[in-house]
Amino acid sequence: MFGLGLITPIISMLWHRLQELRDDDRGMTTETMIITALLAAAALAAVGLIVAAIRSKSTQIQSDINGA
């Protein structure tokens, strides 16, 4: 199995890398934030369309079952 001697250097390396990323002051650009927001809105719209299509189809199936 893995010993503590193998895991400790990996955790240390990841911790130092995380600290380096936190110290980076560049941040996200406005363009990146706008694109991310637009993609999130598009994803929500797509989910809404899928839900509407499923509900429509389920109503159609239910009426077919009741009519048969």
Number of separate domains in the chain: 1
For 29, phi and psi rounded to 5 degrees? -80, 160
Choice between 20 and 6, residue whose per-residue pLDDT is larger: 20
The arithmetic mean of pLDDT across residues 1-15, rounded, is 75
Over residues 43-65, the pLDDT tens digits come to 999 999 999 999 999 988 888 88
Structural domain that includes position 47? 4-67
Q: Is the pLDDT of residue 6 over 90?
A: no
Give the dihedral sign, CA 14/20/25/30.
Answer: negative
pLDDT for residue 4:
65
Q: Give exposure, 32-65, as e/b (b: 16+ Cβ within 10 Å).
A: eeeeeeeeeeeeeeeeeeeeeeeeeeeeeeeeee
The arithmetic mean of pLDDT across residues 23-32, rounded, is 74
The pTM assigned to this predicted structure is 0.52
- pLDDT, mean over the chain: 83
